[in-house]
A and B are shown apart, each in its own frame.
Chain A
Amino acid sequence: EAQVTQNPRYLITVTGKKLTVTCSQNMNHEYMSWYRQDPGLGLRQIYYSMNVEVTDKGDVPEGYKVSRKEKRNFPLILESPSPNQTSLYFCASSLRRPSFGTSGLSFLNEQFFGPGTRLTVL
C-alpha cells in the first residue's frame, strides 16, 4: 500500500530534550516536506526537500533541522524543543514531473500526507 508513515504518532517531552520524528514514504517520491498545524493558522511549511541531499527552508524553520540521506526518509529533528513547538506535525511527499516545453521547470503533483505526530513540549 502506498503510504507515508510517521513515528511516533504521539509524543510528550520536556524542554531541551532532543527528539527526532521519522518520516518514510514508499512511493519513490523525490519531494518531501514537513508542516506544523496550529489552530487558526492552517499548515505552515517547516522544511522541504526536492531530492536526496537537497533541502530548503519553508516559512517556519527556526528550531528545526532536517536531513535527506535517502530518498524514502526525511526525519525532522528538534535539537532543543521548547513549548512553542507544541503542535501537530505532518510529513508529506509528492512526485515531481518534468515540464513540457522549454521552461525547464518541473511540476509538483499533489502531496500525500502522513497521519500526523502530535507533539507536546512541557
Chain B
Amino acid sequence: AQKVTQAQTEISVVEKEDVTLDCVYETRDTTYYLFWYKQPPSGELVFLIRRNSFDEQNEISGRYSWNFQKSTSSFNFTITASQVVDSAVYFCALTINTGGFKTIFGAGTRLFVKA
C-alpha cells in the first residue's frame, strides 16, 4: 500500500530561521510523482513543486529548495530565511499510476513563523 508520512505535526520558528519540512513516502511503483502544496490560513491549496520518480535533480527556487532522495524515499522541503507569510500548512503528496492516477496526501505540517 502507498503511504506518505509527515512526522512533524507543527513547527514553530522565528523569522529568518531556516526550516526543513520532512516527507517520507512508501510505494512499490517504479513510476510516481511527488508534490508539495501549501495551504495558507485563507484555506486555498497552492502548488509548490512536482518531481517525477525518475528525476532526482534537486532544485532551488528563491528561498525554497527541495531534496529528493530515492534511496531513502524522502522528499524534503526547506525554506531559507523564513518569513511570517510562510506560515501555513504544507502537504506532501504522492501520485501513482495504477491505470488511473491515485493520490495520497500526508497529514500535513503546520508551520508557524513568528516575527
A42 in contact with B101 (CB, 8 Å): no
B107 in contact with A90 (CB, 8 Å): no
Complex CA gap A45/B98 in Å reads 14
Q: Smallest CB–CB gap between B22 and chain A, Å?
A: 14
Q: How large is the interface on A (under 10, 10 to 19, 20 to 34, 35 or more residues)?
A: 20 to 34
Chain A residue at smallest Cβ distance from B4: A42
Interface of A is mostly: strand
Interface: A50 (CB within 8 A): yes
Complex CA gap A33/B33 in Å reads 16
Write out, one digit per residue, whether chain A residues 89-109 have a CB within 8 A of any chain B CB (1) or not (0).
010101010000001011111
Interface positions of B from 1 to 21, Cβ below 8 Å from A:
4, 6, 9
Interface: B97 (CB within 8 A): yes
Most buried by B among A35, A43, A45, A96: A43
Interface of B is mostly: strand
Complex CA gap A108/B37 in Å reads 15
Given contact pairs A42-B105, A90-B45, A113-B45, A56 touches B91 in the complex (Cβ within 8 A) = no
Q: Smallest CB–CB gap between A95 and chain B, Å?
A: 11
B107 in contact with A108 (CB, 8 Å): no
A50 in contact with B100 (CB, 8 Å): yes
Write out, one digit per residue, whether chain A residues 77-93 have a CB within 8 A of any chain B CB (1) or not (0).
00000000000101010
Given contact pairs A41-B107, A115-B44, A50 touches B31 in the complex (Cβ within 8 A) = no
B105 in contact with A31 (CB, 8 Å): no
Given contact pairs A42-B91, A43-B91, A48 touches B47 in the complex (Cβ within 8 A) = no
Interface: A112 (CB within 8 A): yes
Residues of chain A contacted by B37 (CB below 8 angstroms): 113
Interface: B65 (CB within 8 A): no
A107 in contact with B33 (CB, 8 Å): yes
Interface positions of A from 11 to 44, Cβ below 8 Å from B:
31, 33, 35, 40-44
Closest 6 CB pairs of A and B: A113-B45, A110-B47, A42-B105, A43-B105, A42-B107, A56-B100
B residues neighboring A (CB under 8 Å): 4, 6, 9, 31, 33, 35, 37, 43-45, 47, 50, 52, 91, 93, 95, 97, 100-108
